[in-house]
Amino acid sequence: KTDVWAYQGETGPKFWTRLEEGSECGGIRQSPININTFKAIAGDFDLRLSDFHYENATEVKNVINNGHTIEYEFESENNILKLAERQYILKQFHFHSPSEHTLDGVRFPLEIHMVHFEPETNSYVVLALFAKQGETSKTFRFLLDYLPIDIGESKEVSALCDFEDPLSTLKTGTLYHYEGSLTTPPCTESVSWYILKEPLGLAPEQIDRLKDLMPINNYRLAQPLNGRIVSFK
């Protein structure tokens, strides 16, 4: 697996386009993007709250420090997002700091990516949640109890992820949508992005600790829209 890239220096983003093994980092529908909220179009996109078939409390199995992010993996494959007749399985979530997507140029302290995968078409749906300092979201209460300090280190986790907060924000909050890519090599262009406008709260210690363990500024710069439309609802 290609893993020779970084967020800075000689193997930084400019180098990503030259990576072998089918890098799509130089493609035309890349992520992340800046979301110009004034240009977003009132959307008739498909994602609805009823499409989230999530368990109330889901066991987290494992956490890994992969040198690019801290990633928590789920035990069950029971959290399903049903979209356009396809079933996307919630696999993992991970962090970027500061955020990768920006809202009218504004970067949030943290962005959480809930990665859903559909094996038949090899495509992804990523739900992006911004986080800022505030009262700790129930969903992420366990974060500081299991942290892999060293690159390559992974740890068993025994904790429950409770999705009530993000799901209730989804009910009333604004959601942005566009078609893009993975934000890391190989930048595969098969990702439907859904970005929740309203940030979740995390304790300052949680944000600081995650930052400590990840590369500084583990975000990719905004990519050109190339005519893509961002919709909202």
What residues line the site for ligand SG7 (CB under 6 A)? 66, 68-69, 71, 94, 113, 115, 126, 182-184
User: Is residue 211 involved in binding Zn ion (CB under 5 A)?
Assistant: no
Minimum Å gap between C-beta 229 and ligand SG7 is 20
Nearer to ligand SG7, 67 or 201 (CB): 67
Minimum Å gap between C-beta 233 and Zn ion is 23
| 90 touches, from Zn ion, ligand SG7, none (C-beta below 5 to 8 Å by class) | none
Q: Residues 105 to 124: which contact Zn ion by CB under 5 A?
A: 113
Residue 105 amino acid letter: G
Minimum Å gap between C-beta 113 and Zn ion is 4
Minimum Å gap between C-beta 214 and Zn ion is 11
Nearer to ligand SG7, 71 or 118 (CB): 71
Residue nearest to Zn ion (CB): 113
Question: Per-residue x/- marks for Zn ion, 58-97, CB under 5 A?
Answer: ----------------------------------------
For 34, phi then psi, to 5°, come to -85, 135
Query: Contact, 214 vs 7, CB < 8 A?
Result: no
Closest CA to 132 of 157, 106, 155, 158: 106
| 115 touches, from Zn ion, ligand SG7, none (C-beta below 5 to 8 Å by class) | ligand SG7
Query: Contact, 177 vs 47, CB < 8 A?
Result: yes
Q: Which of 68, 94, 96, 113 is catalytic?
A: 68
Clarify whether 177 is annotated catalytic. Answer: no
Cβ partners under 8 Å of residue 27, min gap 6: 181, 187, 189
Nearer to Zn ion, 126 or 170 (CB): 126
How many Å apart are CA 142 and CA 160, to the nearest integer?
A: 8
- Annotated catalytic sites, by residue? 68
Binding-site ranges for Zn ion (CB under 5 A): 113
